[in-house]
A and B are shown apart, each in its own frame.
Chain A
């Protein structure tokens, strides 16, 4: 079983839709949880990070962590064509991040 599993997508939605991206993990040692966005031919860009179960909101983005179920989610409200990118979940412990394989999101105008 992989340490981090991410819904592979790809995901295609109309502009304005609510997007839900999800990851599950098996390693209970993970202490912090992050979401990155990666545009084509660019490095990953940090979107959200959290260290505890619950919700964290930043503008149109909400990160949700459920440590008991080993499940994290990223919600994007009012999605825009500029949100079209690959979204990577990442989980960390001991100064090392373990990434999901990424979900390719396309938001159609």
Chain B
């Protein structure tokens, strides 16, 4: 069974640009969560989607948005990039039930110059 796939693996952008990251969950999983990981703050929850609906949201500004498609694939968008957005962005998939065991992809490393 294939794991969680994130593309691209690396991105370099400049301030003010926008970026879109993609995540394909494990087959059969309907929930996708996004996290930001930085050395100073650790792993921080961005949002979670289940059946194309955002079910939970963390404390990030509105520049961070996401969506989920009918095949459970998800995208995350960051608009008007800031230097502080440089981080590893991780996607995790789960069945979406109350057990919520999450499996992570390898992440997309975003550098904002």
Q: Which residue of the partner chain, among A45, A95, A100, A102, contacts B55 with CB atoms under 8 Å?
A: A95
Contact A46 B45 (CB under 8 A): no
Given the interface pairs A42-B106, A43-B106, A43-B107, the reply to whether A98 lies near B100 with Cβ below 8 Å is no
A105 near B: Cβ within 8 Å? no
Residues from chain A with Cβ under 8 Å of B42 in the complex: 88, 99-102
Contact B48 A95 (CB under 8 A): yes
Given the interface pairs A94-B56, A95-B48, A97-B45, the reply to whether A44 lies near B104 with Cβ below 8 Å is yes
- Count, A-B residue pairs, CB within 8 A: 58
Residue tally, chain B, CB below 8 Å to A: 28
Residue tally, chain A, CB below 8 Å to B: 23
A49 near B: Cβ within 8 Å? yes
Given the interface pairs A44-B90, A46-B102, the reply to whether A95 lies near B96 with Cβ below 8 Å is yes
Q: Within the complex, what minimum Cβ distance (angstroms) separates B32 from chain A?
A: 11
Contact B102 A97 (CB under 8 A): yes
By DSSP majority rule, is chain A's interface helix, strand, loop, or mixed? strand
Residues from chain B with Cβ under 8 Å of A92 in the complex: 100
Q: What per-residue 1/0 map shows which CB atoms of B91-110 lie under 8 Å from chain A?
A: 01000101111111111000
* 3 closest cross-chain pairs (CB), A and B: A43-B104, A101-B42, A99-B43
Could you write out 24 A-B pairs with CB less than 8 Å apart?
A: A32-B100, A42-B106, A42-B107, A43-B4, A43-B105, A44-B43, A44-B90, A44-B104, A45-B104, A46-B101, A46-B104, A90-B43, A94-B56, A95-B31, A95-B48, A95-B100, A96-B33, A96-B45, A96-B56, A97-B33, A97-B45, A97-B102, A99-B35, A99-B43
